[in-house]
């Protein structure tokens, strides 16, 4: 399976600021996914990111709040904009196991606390 890294691993931010989270994969992948995991909760898909096209957002998530970049087949960023304490969560990126596969492999996550 692919090796996935995320930066930063954790951060504490002030209300109203923005944070960009990076996800790096050690191999080329078609689809990357961004999830949010609120404290004590399960994973919720934010958006799907394909290289060379706009990200596809799930219901309840909008591009202005969570802009995503996918400049190449090994890298993606998720920005959490104009943060509030409700944005305090773990943000996870994942990649599909192989082209067309249902299996996904996850990065270690970014733990965000907003004061």
Partner 1 sequence: GQQLNQSPQSMFIQEGEDVSMNCTSSSIFNTWLWYKQEPGEGPVLLIALYKAGELTSNGRLTAQFGITRKDSFLNISASIPSDVGIYFCAGPSTARQLTFGSGTQLTVLP
Give me the least distance between CB of 5 and partner 1, in Å please.
Answer: 11
CB of 58 to partner 1, least distance (A): 8
For residues 97 and 87, what is the distance between their CA atoms, to the nearest angstrom? 28
Which range touches partner 1 (CB under 8 A), out of 14-22, 60-68, 69-77, 90-98?
90-98
- Confirm if 70 and 29 have CB atoms less than 8 A apart: no
Size of the site for partner 1 (CB under 8 A): 25
Pairing of strands 110-114, 10-13: parallel
Instruction: Based on the shown chain and the rule CB under 8 A, indicate whether residue 105 belongs to the binding site for partner 1.
Output: yes
What is the token pair recorded at 111?
Answer: 């733990």
Of 27-46, binders to partner 1 (CB under 8 A) are 31, 33, 41-45
Residue 52 interacting with partner 1 (CB under 8 A) = no
Two tokens, residue 1: 């399976």
What is the radius of gyration, based on Cα positions, of the chain?
13
Q: What is the Cα–Cα distance from 10 to 87, expressed in whole angstroms?
A: 13
Indicate whether 57 belongs to the interface with partner 1 (CB under 8 A): no
Q: Which residues bind partner 1 (CB under 8 A)?
A: 1, 4, 31, 33, 41-45, 48, 92, 94, 96-97, 100-109, 111
């Amino acid at each position: 399976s692919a090796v996935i890294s995320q930066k930063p691993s954790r951060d504490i931010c002030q209300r109203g600021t923005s944070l960009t989270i990076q996800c790096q994969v050690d191999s080329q992948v078609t689809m990357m996914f961004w999830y949010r995991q609120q404290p004590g909760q399960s994973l919720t898909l934010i958006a799907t990111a394909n290289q060379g096209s706009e990200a596809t957002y799930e219901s309840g998530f909008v591009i202005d709040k969570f802009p995503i970049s996918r400049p190449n087949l090994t890298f993606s960023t998720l920005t959490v904009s104009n943060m509030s304490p409700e944005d305090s969560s773990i943000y996870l990126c994942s990649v599909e196991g192989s082209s067309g596969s249902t299996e996904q492999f996850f990065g270690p996550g970014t733990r965000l606390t907003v004061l």
